Structure 1
Amino acid sequence: MRVADETGSVVRRLRLRAGLTQEGLAERSGVSVRTIRGIETGSRRNPQLASLVQLADALELSAGDRQDLLTSLVPATPAVTGPPLNATDEPVVVPRQLPAVPASFAGRRTELDRLDAVPAGTAVIAGPGGIGKTWLALNWAHRHRDRFLDGQLFVDLRGFSPDERPMDPDVAVRGFLDSLGVEPNRVPADPHARTALFRSLVAGKRLLIVLDNATGTGQVVPLLPGGDTCTVLVTSRARLVGLVAGHDAHLVLVGTLPDPEARALLARRLGTARITAEPAAVEEMIEFCGGFPLALGVLAGHAAIRPQLPLAALVTDLREMGLDLLDHDPAAGLPTVLSWSLRHLTTEQRTVFALLGIAPGPDIGLPAAASLTALPTARARKVVRALEEASLLTRDRHGRCAMHDLVRAYAITVAHDLAEPARQTALERVVDFYLHTANTADRLLNPHRRLQLDPPAPGTRPHPLSDAAAALAWLTAEHAHVLAAQHTAESQHRYRVVWQLAWTLYTFLVRRGYRDEVRTAWQTAVAATAHLPDPAARALAHRRLGRAYSRLGQHEDAISQLRRALDLTEDPTEQAHIHHAFAAAWERRADHRRALEHAQRALDLYHRLGFPLLEAHALTAIGSSAVHLGDYDTARQHCRTALVLCRRHHDPAGEADTLHTLGRAAHHASHHNQAVHYYEEALRLYGTLGNTTAGADTLADLGHSHIALGQYDHARAAWQQALQLYQGQHRDLDVQRVQQQLDTLHHFTGEPAPPPPVPSAATPPTSLPASGHSHDRSYWRC
């Protein structure tokens, strides 16, 4: 045997025993791949001794193996060589190709447990780029190396990488054969034969195969072993549905890190002391990254190379630069990594991805997405599913699509590449979707409200709603998106649409107790109407904002807005509405005589204009003021007239308000059984309407009538329900008031009551002012 051939045989045998490819040995030793290949094939006839020393060091050879390698350069003698290697004698190769686990790996206990539960077979670890799939696979693989006595194979399939070309699976098979010790002259020329040989070699072996960064099922299938003794881990941004469905692979989805695990990752990179020293800055870093490991790693890298820089200074950069700070490395920054996912999308899918990024609201339902993209619903569903399979968005059980904040920030940058008209028309469509669907919902909840809208933009398909229940369900799910659409309309200078969106939400928000949202919506509307040459719209917006301030107890602001509204209009109908709003505002301020004056003026105007249903509302307002002024006969008279009108004109909301006021009049006149009857009728209607705001007030008043009748269990039940509703509506003063009433009842009856502790014990009175819309929330007295 020639010296070069013997040296090449020794190098190859030792490399394969170490489980290294030629590229891996080159990286570890510093000797070029070309040199190593030349030594192994014998084409490099006079390898340098220095190169062999480098190879020996990299292979960490024992003294005997080191001597074998170095003395192979000496002409063969019986003293140093022994018998030549037979070409048919395959070396026993145990590949050990797993890269090291990054030292900053943290957490992932749930995902690791799921992988532990996977039997021998294939597991697909899927998630967006930068989420930590490879780290997870390597961590699990290293933890379980002892299970795979025949070795571990690893290959980066380059499915999503800078060079744009995924690895051909045949190239990967060829590398596996090399790693398993197959001599080059024994590798079949036919790709199918190579795959068959690979499967024959691993059959019956306890081998772990890690296929990292796969692009699709077709790239993976040729690399799957044929038996059931091997375990395969596949990482991919795609969910590889074909592999799961056709090859019984187990899907393990990788999401973001919880805050404690994100903090642990930063601590491993930067040290516990540095993390502990600036907790506020660390919290902001974690919040910005949203549990995205790559983003956390990039920020930690910025901090690590500047050990003297306070983390607070890095947070300042983060606020100013945002996503750009995470793109410091053209090969590994988060935007770059995410961009690789888009290479595998169609033009249509990339466009939808971008448009979803700029859509109003935290997420989006399929009907809204169809209008946003101007796609038929079935087509939109298909595209959304493709984006989900590419791990660019998630869908919940209701089909709503959401993106991680950083993925969405990247989608917004992609949207900037779209033509400006395309972006603007898409936003017009989705805003019109919310406007027209919300208007339909509002009409179903309150048929007596009417708002004339312009036709929606072409391509918009408002969601059909069949009845009030469907309207309530849609608004419950979508009201935050309608508010977001209002801001989008404002940014597009669609000022008429801005106040119309506030209008469409008004009934729902008021009935459900979203008082802050009502104020915000009408503040935005007031600002928008200032741009319109339409005093009627401006008066309406100021009036609604005044009502919103009143409900929040901001009395001076409420009166100021209502006066501004009155100054802006000469329309008697709008003037009547404003006087009605004044009546409510002064009643909440407990100025019941002023409230009565404005309610009477509203009634006179409505009567003169011929609006009998609005007359009914004004009559109820007069009745409410009369109750507070102790004129119960007047209250009953006006409310009974109002009740007839509400029933005649099919106004259940007005009927419920009138019944509630009749209940308060009866309670204060000591007709407590009658009061209970009125309250229960009002509650039935409020329940049908979904009006939890008025329902809570009625329950609170009902409790007082039960107390007056000695029905303490009924009173407790009513107040506990009211308390729960008030808590959900963040009505803190009402929560405090009802809780005190429950505490007092506990002391009086000795029955168990929830905390907080009771401040005092008392004998409950048989009558006290009910809550209604008054600020006078009387507590029981000692």
Structure 2
Amino acid sequence: MTDEFAGAVRRFRLRAGLTQEALAERSGISVSTIRGMETGKRRNPQLASVRQLASALALRPQEQEDLLSAAGAEPTPAPRQLPPELAGFVGRGDALGRLDAVLDGGAASTVVISAISGTAGIGKTTLALHWAHRVAGRFPDGQLYADLRGFDPSGTVMAPGEALRAFLEALNVPARSVPDDVEAQAAKFRTLMAGRAMLVVLDNARDAAQVRPLLPGTPGSLVVVTSRHDLTGLIATTNARSLPLALLSREEAHALLADRLGAERVNAEPAAVAEIIDRCGGLPLALAVVSARAAHTSFSLTAYAEELGGLDGFGSGDEATDLRAVFACSYLALSPAAARAFRLLGLHPGTEVSLAAVASVTGLTSARRVMQELTRAHLIVERTPGRFAFHDLLRAYAAEQVQPDERHDALYRLVAHYRYNAERARFVDHPRILAEPSAPDGVATVPFADVTAAKSWLKTETPALLAIVRSDHGFPQEVVEIVRAIANFLDINGRLSANVDVLHRAMALTSDQKTLVFLWKLLARVHTRAGRHAEARALLDRTLEIDLASGDTDALGYTYFGLARLLGGQGGHREAQDLASKAVTCFQESGNRNAEADALNGVAWCFAMLGEFGEALVRAEQAIATGESANAGRLDTLGYVEHHRGNHAKAVKHFQEAVAVAEDAGDRYMLAEALTHLGDTHEAMGDHAEARETWEQAVEEWDALHSPEADALRARLGS
């Protein structure tokens, strides 16, 4: 020991305003020892005692080093606690850039915190450690790391006091000098961190309360927190930078597999690799588990791809990486209400679910609270306000957790939700000819302000409706009614393949002849639209025989009208005109005025195709007068007739009205048809630029419908 040491002890004690007795009490070192140090009589002090003094005196890092050096001790190495980087880091350029921006742009007056959040297995720890190692050199006072075990398979969450004790010991505080009280530990930690430039990585945090005591109190250090939760409270109270982590892109997933398995092996089986990437859904842990299994064998990747139909193919035998075990940690941390909602949502077959559908499947009057909890836990993603999406593997795990006694009722409420609201959407569009449906118990009603809102809901929910129809859930009548409700919507939006699919599904689930005949007519209309004339004729001939025998004039009218459309599309306009006239008579007898107007319009179109424009005009005007609401098809026919009568200004007016009505109704076929005819009229009037612009809009619509009309019109534009 040197005189320099003795003077330093006395100087630091006096600066702190402490007597020898007070310093002894604070440091745990006897008064006689402190007196001996200050007088130079205490030679060769123990290194632990010097560190206790430095801690008690709240010395800055450099002052601590100077005191230890004066005491003849070797300088204490800065803590370097970062675990090794995890293998297989790929991509994440955007996330790394945001972390760099946090480091470079941190406010001088506050400790900077970056909170990396995301679902289980998404690579939060991998990113945090990769970046931490990359920037470690910018923190000369060292790096602290703690796995807080917030979602550990053991279920044992690290208490803040346990983490603080480890940090204090890493900062050379003797174990016996670490306070027992967490608040005192946190205060001592903040004292020791003052003036230091350190990187602190708090991995796998459970919540904000676990993190707050572990934060330095002064600028200079940076904290990186990873958690499966959003840690909204921490962000709100500390101005932490939020970094939610996304799933890997297909390119990043491919790069990860190539890194683990070798580019040659991956490139040799592109189809199998694409299937593996699809099954893993961009989840790094899932990709890592599959590649780890494949890396130990020479089996084809196709064999591994075929095993990934469920969660069984993602087992690793290690709780830290087994997908079920990893997901279970998040699930078991949920409140009972959120856990129930999570598992019941596993019954939903679609890729997205609305808040109303959540309310129905759970039977909750308000589902917002549980969905907020699931979103904060990153078990589900709110893609747009009120609409949520599962990762496919999480959905599979959720479905496995459904309890037998809750499955039937929850599934019924879910299926009934889509049936009821689809029927309501159809009713809003046709209130005069349909009865308003009644809501089943526990099913949430979607509010439809008008027809536009109803059709917007149908458009948004089409994937879910199709998924419900195609699922084996045990409620066949619900499926049939959903198909009846959505078939026309699918038709006018050009979803021919989907319409054929669901119509066949409904026909397989019903034995009621009246329902079957109705479905046959819908299918015949799709076949007619697609140019499958023989299939359409076979169906309509069957329905004609049944309708004639039944004496149901309304049903017979629809069959006559279906045959008229079919024959007209094949060029048989005279026979089609006769059948459409028969349909008019049937609808007049049944009192179905809208159907009568459509049939009159069909008659008008046949006369127009035959060049009999006088007769066509009479029938077209009758159709407009008979219909109870504006109809794009009737307006288009009237415009077509006026165009060919040379009344171009009238034709333009009618076509423009038809376009507006078709857009409001979401009828893409009529929109494409009316735009095409409007362009024809502009061309006939010599307005070539307007014609071209209108035809280009029509081509876009025909393309969206996958119609050959697009190529025909494109050829005209190119000529």
| Short-chain TM bin | 0.7 to 0.9
The answer to whether the aligner puts 1:493 opposite 2:475 as a matched pair is yes
Question: Which residue pairs with 2:660 in the alignment?
Answer: 684
Q: Which amino acid aligns with 2:404?
A: A
Q: Confirm whether residue 609 of structure 1 aligns to residue 585 of structure 2.
A: no
Q: 1:739 aligns with which of 705, 714, 718?
A: 714
Q: CA deviation at 1:135?
A: 0.6
In structure 1, which of residues 413, 419, 436 is the aligned counterpart of residue 404 of structure 2? Answer: 419
**Residue type of the partner of 2:260?**
R
In the alignment, which of 299, 304, 323 is matched to residue 311 of structure 2? 323
The residue identity in structure 1 corresponding to 2:502 is A
- Corresponding residue for residue 56 of structure 2: none
1:277-292 alignment, distance < 5 Å: 277-292=268-283
Letter in 2 for 1:400: R
Question: Would you say 1:234 and 2:216 are equivalent positions?
Answer: no
CA contact (8 A) 1:215 1:237 kept: yes
Deviation at 1:457, TM superposition (A): 2.9
C-alpha distance after superposition, 1:112-134 (max 9, x if no partner) = 11111112511111111111100
1:211 aligned counterpart, secondary structure:
strand
User: Which of the residues 433, 441, 450 maps onto 1:467?
Assistant: 450
Q: Which residue of 2 aligns with 1:480?
A: 463
Residue in 1 that maps onto 2:621 = 640
Alignment of 1:304-319 (within 5 A): 304-306=295-297, 308-319=298-309
Aligned partners of 1:300, 1:133: CA distance in 2, in Å? 19
Map of 1:727 onto structure 2: 703
Q: For the residues of structure 1 that align with 2:624 and 2:219, how far apart are their CA atoms? A: 77
* Alpha-carbon separation, structure 2, partners of 1:675 and 1:358: 52
Q: Would the alpha carbon gap of residues 676 and 184 (structure 1) be closer, same or farther in structure 2, given more than 3 Å must change?
A: closer
Deviation at 1:464, TM superposition (A): 1.8
SS of 1:123 mapped into structure 2: strand
In the TM superposition, what is the alpha-carbon distance from 1:445 to its structure 2 partner?
2.4
* 1:102 maps to amino acid: L
Are the aligned partners of 2:149 and 2:204 in contact in 1 as well (CA < 8 Å)? yes
Q: Return the letter of the residue paired with 1:657.
A: G
Rounded to whole Å, the distance in 2 between the matches of 1:170 and 1:336 is: 27
Question: Residues of 1 paired with 2:128 and 2:428: CA distance?
Answer: 53
Distance in 2 (alpha carbons) for counterparts of 1:519 and 1:283: 29
User: Structure 2 matches for 1:188-207, cutoff 5 A?
Assistant: 188-207=179-198
Contact between 1:536 and 1:568, CA under 8 Å: does it hold in 2? no
Match of 2:554 in 1: 573
Equivalent pair of 2:554/2:592 in contact (CA under 8 Å): no
Aligned residue for 1:701? 677
Offset, 1:623: 1.4
- The aligned residue for residue 383 of structure 1 is 370
Equivalent residues of 1:535, 1:568 under 8 A apart: no
Deviation at 1:193, TM superposition (A): 2.1
Instruction: Give 1:154 deviation, angstroms.
Output: 0.8
Tell me the equivalent position of 1:397. 384
SS of 2:203's equivalent?
strand
Deviations 1:263-304 (A, max 9, x none): 111111111221122222111111111111000000101111
After TM superposition, list the pairs within 5 Å mapping 1:328-367 onto structure 2: 328-331=316-319, 332-367=321-356
Contact 1:281 1:315 in 2 (8 A): yes
**Cα RMSD for the two superposed structures:** 2.0
Q: Counterpart amino acid of 1:228?
A: P
Give 1:172's aligned residue: 163
Corresponding residue number in structure 1 for 2:240: 249
Q: Give the counterpart letter for 2:460 in structure 1.
A: A
**CA distance, structure 2, for counterparts of residue 443 and residue 424 of structure 1:** 28
Q: Which residue of 2 aligns with 1:72?
A: none
Partner-residue secondary structure (3-state), 1:396: strand
Change (3 A) 1:235 1:629: same
**Which residue of structure 2 aligns with residue 549 of structure 1?**
527
Higher alpha-carbon deviation: 338-347 or 461-470: 461-470
| 2-structure distance, mates of 1:683, 1:145 | 63
Tell me, in whole angstroms, the C-alpha distance in 2 between the residues paired with 1:477 and 1:566.
Answer: 36
Given that residues 643 and 651 in structure 2 are in contact (C-alpha distance below 8 angstroms), is that contact kept between their aligned partners in structure 1? Answer: yes
Partner in structure 2 of residue 95 of structure 1: 79
Q: Determine if contact 1:124/1:249 at 8 Å carries over to the other structure.
A: yes
Aligned-partner Cα distance in 2 for 1:491–1:192? 55
The residue that corresponds to 1:265 in the other structure is 256
- Deviation of 1:174 after TM superposition, in Å, equals 0.9
For 2:688 and 2:135, the matched residues in 1 are separated by 65
TM-score (ref. length: structure 2): 0.86
Q: Is the 8 A contact 2:346 2:398 kept in 1?
A: yes
The 1:695/1:253 distance shift into structure 2, 3 A limit, reads same
**Matched residue type, 2:323:** L
Structure 2 vs 1, CA of residues 615 and 261 (structure 1 numbering), >3 Å: closer, same or farther? closer
Name the CA distance, whole Å, in 2 between partners of 1:399 and 1:155: 36
Q: 2:178 and 2:652 mapped to 1: Cα distance? A: 91
Q: 1:433 aligned to 2:417?
A: yes
Choose from 621, 630, 637 the match for 2:602.
621
**Offset at residue 671 of structure 1 (A):** 4.1
Aligned mates of 2:184, 2:658 — CA distance in 1: 81
Which 10-residue stretch deviates more, 672-681 or 102-111? 672-681
Per-residue CA shift, 1:501-553, capped at 9, x if unaligned? 122223433333333333233222222223xxx32111101111111111111
- What amino acid sits opposite 2:379 in the alignment? L
**Shift in alpha-carbon separation, 1:702–1:134, aligned structure 2, 3 A:** same
Q: Which residue of 2 aligns with 1:442?
A: 426
Question: In the superposition, relative to structure 1, how do residues 501 and 94 fare at CA in structure 2: closer, same or farther (>3 Å)?
Answer: same
Query: What is the distance in 2 between the residues matched to 1:643 and 1:185?
Result: 94
Rounded to whole Å, the distance in 2 between the matches of 1:229 and 1:741 is: 69
Partner Cα distance (1:593, 1:716) in 2: 33
Secondary structure at 2:50 match in 1: coil
Hey, what's the Cα distance between the residues in 2 that align with 1:687 and 1:741? Answer: 24
> How far did 1:575 drift?
1.3
The two structures have a TM-score, normalised by structure 1, of 0.79
CA shift digits 1:235-283 (9 cap, x unpaired)? 1111111111112211111111111111111111111221122222111
Deviation track 1:397-426 (CA, whole Å, cap 9, x = no partner) reads: 3221111111112111122xx124x22211
Residue ranges of structure 2 left out of the alignment (5+ in a row):
1-42, 52-74
**Which deviates more, 146-155 or 192-201?**
192-201
State the 1:83 CA deviation: 5.3
Question: Which residue number in structure 1 is paired with residue 359 of structure 2?
Answer: 370
* % identical equivalent positions: 36
User: Any conservation in 1 of the 2:115–2:225 contact (CA below 8 Å)?
Assistant: yes
